[in-house]
Amino acid sequence: MTETVIKADAETAAGDEPAIDEELLEEAQRHLGTSSRNEAINEALREFVDQQRARRRQALQDLRRMSDEGAFNYDALDEVDT
């Protein structure tokens, strides 16, 4: 796995948008098989968003399964409310 190094530069300190790490972008293009910068960025963002959606979907499924299996004591909530 490639170690990502975050580089501070004068642009970031001035409040401007941080510069894109060219080496990281080139590596992403190789891994993704893309030919343009925009295509690589869009594909990387798409993969990131898809992964996050899958994680949330799995978490919801896990909670539903746990609830169906009786993992939560809803009666205890009623006791706290009274």
10 Å CB burial of residue 40 (0-12, 13-18, 19+) is: buried
**Mind listing the pLDDT tens digit for each residue in 41-63?**
999 999 999 999 999 999 999 99
pLDDT of residue 7: 55
In a domain, 4, yes or no: no
Instruction: Please give the radius of gyration of the chain, using alpha carbons only, rounded to the nearest integer.
Output: 22
Q: What is the mean pLDDT of residues 1-20?
A: 63
Torsion over CA of 55, 59, 60 and 63, rounded to 10 degrees? 170
Give the burial string for 47-66 (b: 16+ CB within 10 Å, else e). Answer: eeeeeeeeeeeeeeeeeeee
In a domain, 26, yes or no: yes
What's the whole-model pTM score?
0.65
In a domain, 34, yes or no: yes
**For the chain, what is the domain count?**
1
**Mind listing the pLDDT tens digit for each residue in 13-41?**
556 888 999 999 999 999 999 999 999 99
**pLDDT of 4 higher than 70:** no
- Give the structural domain span for 58: 10-81
